[in-house]
């Protein structure tokens, strides 16, 4: 007797019970796939976190590039060094007078 013939012989009540059990198994399996520790929901959450970290890395790369550029100018450009010293530290040249009008 093959499977199809065996299923045909099931009465209506047994067929409904078998259908319900199969439906519950499918629902449980889908629930486990979606909500388990390694499920789809966690996968999408981790993808979002990865995108946030990538954006932060890009921002930090740009910041590092700007800092390196600033450092290079401070090392190699005396006019820029003087400008920074005057603005940041309020330094003046010899025989120079500053009038603070604020």
Residue 9's pLDDT is: 66
Asked if residue 29 and residue 43 are part of one domain, the reply reads no
Q: Is 23 inside any structural domain?
A: yes
CB 23 within 8 A of CB 30: no
29 and 43 part of one domain: no
Cβ pair 62, 68 in contact under 8 A: no
List, as one string, the DSSP characters of 1-32: --HHHHHHHS-HHHHHHHHHHHHHHHHHHHHH
pTM of the model: 0.55
pLDDT of residue 97: 78
Cα–Cα distance between 52 and 55 in angstroms, integer? 5
Please indicate, yes or no, if residue 96 is contained in any of the structural domains: no
Looking at the structure, do residues 25 and 50 belong to the same domain, yes or no?
no
Output the tens digit of pLDDT for each of the chain's 102 residues: 566 666 566 677 777 888 899 999 999 988 888 878 788 888 899 999 999 999 999 999 999 999 999 999 999 999 999 888 888 887 777 777 777 777
Q: Tell me: do 53 and 20 sit in the same domain.
A: no
Which range marks the domain in which residue 2 is found?
Answer: 1-35
């Amino acid at each position: 007797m093959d499977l199809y013939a065996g299923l045909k012989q099931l009465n209506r009540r047994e067929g409904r019970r078998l259908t319900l059990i199969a439906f519950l198994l499918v629902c449980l399996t889908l629930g486990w796939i979606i909500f388990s520790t390694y499920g789809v929901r966690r996968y999408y959450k981790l993808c979002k976190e990865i995108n946030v970290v990538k954006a932060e890395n890009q921002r930090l790369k740009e910041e590092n590039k700007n800092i390196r550029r600033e450092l290079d100018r401070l090392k190699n450009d005396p006019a820029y060094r003087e400008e920074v010293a005057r603005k940041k530290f309020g330094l003046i040249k010899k025989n120079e007078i500053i009038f603070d009008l604020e």
